[in-house]
């Protein structure tokens, strides 16, 4: 009898230690990033161009570039994703077409981000002749997050009770009007949460934009969607790995890391806040 | 336009938009093949996959990606050895032992971590883990398999823990009660009843975590060391496939043999992750059938 409880004690100890290890690593990671980056980030850092071979100045063009790229990615993924989710959840009937679509979307979700980069390079940059540009980068990132947006939107749509649809249909409203007037408004918070989370992902991706949009340095801000841009993740990568001034630019690297992490965390917290707000106001 | 006609139009338009994902997937495969296949005029498929000499810029050049494949597999395997037990045990903690407040905190934290840019994690590996490894073990470089595996594990644990927790949570209460009624302790119940019934979800979690790790680029690009050689110990540097593509694509001439070789690596990577995902699906289906039969 005693041995069994001893075993239980040992097992729970292992369980608690694992959880503690994870929690401590997470805490250490964020504290480290924050403390190291805090001294580098200032108002100038956020609003100035890089100066003196990247060793001074700020990262403003990279912030702007990341902003453009994520807006572009959203413009691609949000309409396509929501419309696909409406079809999959509201119209599609069980059968081989639906199965085919689902398998395809799942496969797309599993494609590694560097392969998306190759695809963007071959199709948008070279074949369509966009060159390395906001356009090519946004399309690549947009298709990268498309499966996530579809998944989140579908979940939101399916959480709307079936009775809502039935009540509307019983009043003689057509199916499409039921969806656009009843189902979509009620699932909006869920769709927003999922979409904003995927914006966070798009903002932090590096591999897909390496050959399709990002450049190390631009003297001026982009003037059209066919210009190259600087981007925060790519900036971190280049400063940390390439060049002869890796040690000199260390403070700038820490600052850029903190700006990117802060940006992504803020985006994700907005999403989480929207969801908990919507849950409180939920009428069913 | 009559109402039924309008409905038909809407439905078919939506179907068309849904096919966009399939079209993109098709285009990915098509362009990988179009740009990747020409390399096989220079090197045979067998030498490409099994050759371990990767000297694409030499004259004559060698295009063997064996060492790159081994690099990818080794870091993924080592990352799994760290991440799977940690992830599953943490999920057990959250599902079975944690007080309510920690439980509520868990999902948002996982979501925040999942959104953490991989380049930041790679950076962390370079400035924190690498010097630490170098000093502790007296190595020539801290950028090696161990470093990459630790960072990849850090990335995979939230995914594995989150999906495992869902699976544990969905095990019916009756199973637990039946086990307690037979006199089992809580730990025995978890190990012999709850975890086995949740195996379908747990295996999905593991496969998803691993397929992320194998396709992850920035971490292995920044901390795996980048040497295209067969590793002899876990402290050797390697050059996993994604890192190779990312590092070399920027410097290679357009449509050179090297360029095509990098697309061919993309092909191999694409099919490897695809195989991983399909295997995951099969495994989880297999366990699911058994689970439902006992219900």
**Does the beta carbon of B180 lie under 8 angstroms from any beta carbon of chain A?**
no
Instruction: Name the residue of chain A whose CA is nearest to B30's CA.
Output: A119
Range in A25-34, A53-62, A146-155, B91-100 the model is least confident about = A53-62
Q: How far is CA A170 from CA A61, A178, A264, in A?
A: 55, 10, 44
pLDDT band for position A257 (cuts 50, 70, 90): very high
Residue from A115, A123, A129 whose CB has the most chain B CBs within 10 Å, to mutate: A115
Question: Are A84 and B20 inside 8 Å of each other by CB?
Answer: yes
The series of mean pLDDT values per 10 residues for chain B, 295 residues long, is 85 93 95 94 90 86 92 94 94 90 86 88 94 91 93 92 91 91 92 91 88 90 90 92 93 90 95 87 71 43
**What DSSP letter does each residue of chain A carry, written as one string?**
-HHHHHHHHHHHHHHHHHHHHHHHHHHHHHHHHHHHHHTT--HHHHHS-EETTTTEE--HHHHHHHHHHHHHHHHHHHHHHHHHHHIIIII--SSHHHHHHHHHHHHHHHS-HHHHHHHHIIIIIIIS---SSHHHHHHHHHHHHHHHHHHHHHHHHHTS-HHHHHHHHHTT--HHHHIIIIIHHHHHHHHHHHHHHHHHHHHH--HHHHTTTB-S--SS---STTS-B--HHHHHHHHHHSSS-TTTTHHHHHHHHHHHHHHHHHHHHHHHHHHHHHHHH---
Pick the CATH number of A59-281 from 3.40.50.1220, 1.10.3210.10, 1.10.3720.10, 3.40.50.720: 1.10.3720.10
Give residue B295's pLDDT: 40
pLDDT band for position A53 (cuts 50, 70, 90): low
**What DSSP letter does each residue of B37-72 carry, written as one string?**
GGGGGTS-HHHHHH---EETTSSS-EE--HHHHHHH
Window 41-70 of B: residues touching A by CB (8 A cutoff) are none
**Does the beta carbon of B159 lie under 8 angstroms from any beta carbon of chain A?**
no
Give the whole-angstrom CA distance, residue B49 versus residue A173: 59
Q: How far is A283 from chain B (nearest CA, A)?
A: 22
Give residue B288's pLDDT: 64
Report pLDDT digits (tens) over A173-219.
Answer: 999 999 999 999 999 988 998 888 889 889 999 999 998 988 877 77
Encoded tokens for A142: 């947009």
Taking contacts as CB-CB distances below 8 angstroms, the residues of chain A near B218 are 206-207, 233, 237
Could you say which of B17, B21, B113 has the minimum Cβ distance to residue A105? B21
Taking contacts as CB-CB distances below 8 angstroms, the residues of chain A near B98 are 19
Give residue B291's pLDDT: 46
Q: Which residue has the tokens 């001893």?
A: A6
Instruction: Name the residue of chain B whose CA is nearest to A237's CA.
Output: B119
Give residue A220's pLDDT: 78
The stretch A129-150 carries a mean pLDDT of 94
Give residue A170's pLDDT: 94
Q: Does A106 score more than 70 pLDDT? A: yes
Question: Are B269 and A207 inside 8 Å of each other by CB?
Answer: no
Give residue A241's pLDDT: 87
Q: Where are the domains of chain A?
A: 59-281
Report pLDDT digits (tens) over B25-50.
Answer: 999 999 999 999 999 998 899 999 99
Size of interface A-B (CB pairs under 8 A): 236
Q: Residues in chain A, how many?
A: 284
Instruction: Name the residue of chain B whose CA is nearest to A85's CA.
Output: B18
**Does the beta carbon of B39 lie under 8 angstroms from any beta carbon of chain A?**
no
pLDDT band for position A284 (cuts 50, 70, 90): low
């Amino acid at each position: 009898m005693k041995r069994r409880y001893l075993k239980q004690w040992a097992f729970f100890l292992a369980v608690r230690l694992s959880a503690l290890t994870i929690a401590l690593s997470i805490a250490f990671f964020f504290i480290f990033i924050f403390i190291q980056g805090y001294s580098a980030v200032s108002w100038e850092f956020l609003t100035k161009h890089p100066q003196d071979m990247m060793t001074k100045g700020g990262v403003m063009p990279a912030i702007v570039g990341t902003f453009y790229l994520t807006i572009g990615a959203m413009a691609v993924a949000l309409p396509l994703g929501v419309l696909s989710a409406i079809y999959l959840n509201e119209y599609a009937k069980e059968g081989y077409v639906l199965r085919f679509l689902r398998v395809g979307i799942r496969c797309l979700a599993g494609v590694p981000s560097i392969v998306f980069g190759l695809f963007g390079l071959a199709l948008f940059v070279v074949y369509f002749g966009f060159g390395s540009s906001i356009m090519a980068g946004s399309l690549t990132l947009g298709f990268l997050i498309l499966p996530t947006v579809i998944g989140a939107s579908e979940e939101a749509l399916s959480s709307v009770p079936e009775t809502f649809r039935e009540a509307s249909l019983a009043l003689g409203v057509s199916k499409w009007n039921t969806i656009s007037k009843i189902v979509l408004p009620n699932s909006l918070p869920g769709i927003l949460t999922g979409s904003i989370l995927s914006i966070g992902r798009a903002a932090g991706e590096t591999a897909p934009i390496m050959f399709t949009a990002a450049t190390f340095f631009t003297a001026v801000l982009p003037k059209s969607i066919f210009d190259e841009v600087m981007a925060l993740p790519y900036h971190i990568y280049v400063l940390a790995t390439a060049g002869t001034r890796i040690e000199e630019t260390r403070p700038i690297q820490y600052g850029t890391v903190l700006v990117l992490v802060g940006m992504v965390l803020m985006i994700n917290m907005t999403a989480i806040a929207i969801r908990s707000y919507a849950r409180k106001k939920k009428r069913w | 336009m009559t109402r039924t006609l309008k409905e038909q139009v809407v439905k078919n338009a939506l179907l068309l938009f849904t096919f966009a994902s399939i079209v993109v997937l098709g285009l990915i495969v098509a362009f990988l093949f179009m740009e990747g296949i020409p390399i096989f005029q220079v090197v045979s498929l067998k030498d490409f996959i099994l050759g371990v000499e990767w000297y694409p810029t030499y004259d004559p050049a060698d295009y063997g990606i064996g060492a790159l494949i081994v690099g990818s597999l080794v870091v993924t395997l080592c990352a799994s050895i760290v991440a799977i037990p940690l992830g599953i045990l943490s999920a057990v903690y959250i599902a079975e032992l944690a007080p309510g407040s920690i439980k509520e905190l868990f999902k948002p934290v996982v979501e925040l971590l999942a959104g953490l840019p991989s380049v930041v994690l790679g950076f962390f590996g370079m400035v924190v883990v690498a010097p630490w490894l170098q000093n502790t073990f007296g190595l020539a470089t801290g950028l090696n398999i161990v470093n990459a595996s630790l960072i990849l594990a850090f990335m995979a644990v939230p995914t594995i823990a989150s999906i495992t927790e869902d699976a544990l949570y969905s095990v019916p209460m009756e199973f637990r009660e039946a086990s307690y009624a037979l006199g089992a302790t809580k730990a025995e119940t978890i190990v012999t009843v709850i975890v086995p019934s949740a195996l379908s979800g747990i295996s999905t979690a593991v496969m998803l975590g691993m397929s992320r790790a194998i396709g992850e680029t920035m971490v292995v690009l920044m901390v795996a060391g980048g040497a295209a050689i067969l590793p002899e110990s876990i402290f050797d540097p390697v050059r996993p496939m994604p890192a190779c593509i990312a590092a070399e694509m920027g410097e290679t001439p357009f449509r050179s043999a090297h360029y095509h070789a990098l697309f061919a690596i993309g092909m191999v990577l694409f099919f490897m992750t695809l195989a991983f995902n399909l295997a995951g699906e099969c495994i989880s289906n297999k366990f699911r059938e058994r689970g439902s039969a006992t219900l």
